[in-house]
Structure 1
Amino acid sequence: MWRHIASNAVTFLIMGLFLLGGVILWGKGEYQAEGPLDQAICLQVERGSNMRRVSQKLVDQGAISSAAIFRIGADYEEKTSQLKAGSFLVQPGTSMSQIVDVVTRGGASTCGTEVVYRVGVNRISVQVRELDPTSNRFVERAEFTPGEDEVPEIFATTKEKADTRFRVAVAEGVTSWQVTEALKGIDLLEGNIAEIPAEGALAPDSYEVRPGDDRATIIAQMAARQELLVAEAWEARDPDLPIGSPEDLLILASIVEKETGVPEERGQVASVFVNRLNQNMRLQTDPTVIYGITEGKGVLGRGLRRSELRAETPWNTYVITGLPPTPIANPGRASLMAAAQPDETDFVFFVADGTGGHAFATTLEEHNRNVARWRQIEAERGAAAAGNASTGGN
């Protein structure tokens, strides 16, 4: 009898272990399987939250099939204690395992609302935008110019949210003074900037910042990134460039950056200046004259006078031969590479063509025709503007 009971007990134990193993295998399969989400969502994990709250939020949003399996899987992978606060984009079909990895890996948030401080050539603006998970595109909620526009209420409320991201976006062609002044004006940052960085030393890019970040540390990050970009361009430069150092390359790239806003033209513009250097011709580029007047501290805001084109400053390339002594702005990677690898052309002249781009020429005669066409376009635009003004724009 006891033998029969023992035999049954062993049988039940084996069956129990078998069933338990099956449940574990099933749970593991569910944890790693494609999730039920059919439309992207933005998962917000508040500071001080835990896996129980996160798992329930995921169930409510239709991202996972079981809160219990989600938590057990996180425990099994020893990731429960690694939960990070933030806003995380969860794509359709993402598995529980992948979601756990996203919310415990850390790093920058990938969705939600962000405040972007845009440092542009002509102005500084602040933008509040939010990622639409379904289109994976940011939707603008508000934009204003500090000191000029009324500050929208959404800006104040967004700044106070724990999961809001902050970003400083530096445009190509801004000066180091402009970057420094912009950082000084961002009240969520702390610390002083001892001195304006050398012109050209800061990489135009988008930088994520956090409340309390040190301004000098952000400047150092920009400088380190630009140093890498300059080294990369210098390493990839054409061997016959009339450029003697990485600093000269940076100077040339800054001029290219200021001369054209058309990406496809950068190589051609760079070729004009390289051809002029090879022929010992003066560069004769207006942005260098402007820098000699402003030294990068603000925007000139008007056309150049004839007297200014003749004025002797270290940067006036109508007066000096060769490159100016310093960059005239902070060039981006594309302009650095254009200066390092310019197009192969015979162009030594260019002038605006009325479309936002330039007309290039190899001879003075051809260039004079292009200049005449540009002056005609300017005259027609001036007449049209005067006509609109006299009729009230109707």
Structure 2
Amino acid sequence: MKRFLLTVFLLGALAVLGAGGWALWWVYQPLPLSAPTVDLSIEAGTLPRGVAQAVKDAGVDVNTDLLYLWFRFSGQDRLIKAGSYELETGITPHRLLAKLARGEETLRAVTLVEGWNFRQVRAALLKEEVLKPETKGLTDEAVMNLLGKPGVHPEGRFFPDTYTYAKGSSDVAVLRRALRAMEKRLAAAWAQRAPDAVVKTPDEALILASIIEKETGKAADRTMVASVFSNRLRVGMPLQTDPTVIYGLGAAFDGNLRKKDLQADTPWNTYTRGGLPPTPIAMPGKPSLLAAVQPAPSKALYFVARGDGSSQFSASLDEHNRAVNKYQRGQ
């Protein structure tokens, strides 16, 4: 009898060891996928058993009971994070759990470029295929309402940068982050303004910065461009900057700025109207924001492109005309 019980015990022990060995082998084996990559979405509040089912529903050929037991046995089942994940060929149960526990979501990125206007921003977001287009078909005013900024003109209110997002995110979420980023950058720049800065409010600084952004060919000239416009505002000269005229033309601008365009009055035409335009004309980056509040000390009132991206600055009209003849007319 003792020999029989010993035999049963040994067989049981071998079975347990065999099962344990098989389980250890299984967690390091690649899971069969229905495609080279499959997208897995885990909703917030999903329990471990639901996560196992979501994995199968995503296109992974796996026994959900076995996967659930692995989650529980590992002790990391409560660490699984909601999010959007991309599972690639070769992923194992061990790697899958590590991915979910660390929250290694699949992130995309969209870049909002310095100098873009809001129309270009919306077009770029619309091209992002995995970004939910919640603003599609909405007016700019409606978009700002969604962002909690009713009555605020959207131009220039979003900071140009590269923003990452997970599958299933919305364009509203990206815009909200860009909006907060610009508010933070603008506040930081405003706190560093020079005592004699010509701009009197953060909004004025943002408007001037947007013009500086569009008029600067080389980064080294940025604070001098800011100085020209600041000096003009200080003495009451019209800014006379083409980018504001182009902005006022909107979609009607065909790439060729004509004399009649400079004479056509719009709220943004700084040839026909004095002072700053009513809104920014583009998204300024951090250097332009700082230049607007910390322009270079100079008496320059004019500048002209040299043809290599840089500009020649002049304090008098005679100087400026000579520079125009030299760099624009080759005289």
Q: TM-score, normalised by structure 1?
A: 0.55
Partner of residue 350 from structure 1, selected from 285, 288, 303: 303
RMSD over equivalenced CA pairs, Å: 3.2
Q: 1:79–1:104: 8 Å Cα contact kept in structure 2?
A: no
1:230 CA displacement: 1.0
Instruction: Measure, in 2, the Cα distance between the counterparts of 1:305 and 1:211.
Output: 45
Structure 1 position 369 matched with structure 2 position 328: no
The residue correspondences of 1:1-394 to structure 2 (distance < 5 A) are: 82=79, 106=102, 165-193=107-135, 194-196=138-140, 197=144, 198-294=154-250, 297=251, 300-376=253-329
**For residues 281 and 173 of structure 2, what CA distance do their matches in structure 1 show?**
23
Instruction: Compare relative contact order (CA 8 Å, sep 6+) and give the higher one, 1 or 2.
Output: 2
Give the match's secondary structure for 1:212.
coil
- Is the 2:306–2:328 Cα contact (8 Å) retained in structure 1? no
1:206 aligned partner, one-letter code: T
Letter in 1 for 2:261: E
Structure-1 separation of matches of 2:295 and 2:302: 15
Aligned partner of residue 322 in structure 1, secondary structure: coil
Quote how far apart the aligned CAs of 1:216 are.
1.4
Q: Is the 8 A contact 2:306 2:312 kept in 1?
A: yes
Structure 1 pair 106/301, CA: closer, same or farther in 2 (3 Å)? farther
Q: 1:370 and 1:83 mapped to 2: Cα distance?
A: 66
Cα-to-partner distance string for 1:94-122 (whole Å, 9 max, x where unaligned): xxxxxxxx979847x6xxxxxxxxxxxxx
- Secondary structure of the residue aligned to 1:166 is strand
Q: Give a deviation string over 1:237-285, Cα, whole Å, max 9, x none.
A: 1121121211111000000000013211111100100011111111111
8 A Cα contact 1:203 1:332, kept in partner: yes
Identify unmatched segments of 5+ residues in structure 2.
1-38, 42-73, 88-97, 145-153
Aligned-pair distance for 1:372?
A: 1.1
Q: Given that residues 299 and 315 in structure 2 are in contact (C-alpha distance below 8 angstroms), is that contact kept between their aligned partners in structure 1? A: yes
Aligned length: 240
Give the CA deviation at 1:291.
0.7
Taking the aligned partners of 2:254 and 2:298, their CA distance within structure 1 comes to 33
Could you tell me how far apart the structure 2 residues matched to 1:238 and 1:86 are?
49
Q: Deviations over 1:103-147 (max 9, x none)?
A: 79847x6xxxxxxxxxxxxxxxxxxxxxxxxxxxxxxxxxxxxxx
Please report how far the alpha carbon of residue 304 of structure 1 lies from its aligned counterpart in structure 2 after TM superposition.
1.2
Flag the 1:343–1:103 CA change in 2: closer, same or farther, 3 A: farther
Amino acid paired to 2:125: L
Q: Distance in 1 between matches of 2:171 and 2:186?
A: 23
Deviations 1:61-86 (A, max 9, x none): xxxxxxxxxxxxxx8xx879647878
Indicate the SS of the match to 1:309.
Answer: helix
The residue identity in structure 1 corresponding to 2:139 is E
Of 341-350 and 164-173, the range deviating more from structure 2:
164-173
User: Aligned equivalents of 1:366 and 1:186: distance in 2?
Assistant: 49
Measure the CA separation in 2 of the matches of 1:257 and 1:191.
Answer: 28
Q: Deviations over 1:215-254 (max 9, x none)?
A: 1121111111111111111111112112121111100000
Distance 2:279 2:309 in 1: 27
More strand by share: 1
| 1:164 Cα deviation after fit | 5.2
Secondary structure at the counterpart of residue 182 of structure 2: helix
Percent sequence identity over aligned pairs: 40
Following TM superposition, by how much is the alpha carbon of 1:191 offset from its aligned partner in structure 2, in angstroms?
Answer: 4.0
Contact map agreement 2:160 2:285 (CA 8 A) in 1: yes
Counterparts in 2 of 1:362 and 1:217: CA distance versus 1, 3 Å: same
Q: Distance in 2 between matches of 1:310 and 1:324?
A: 16
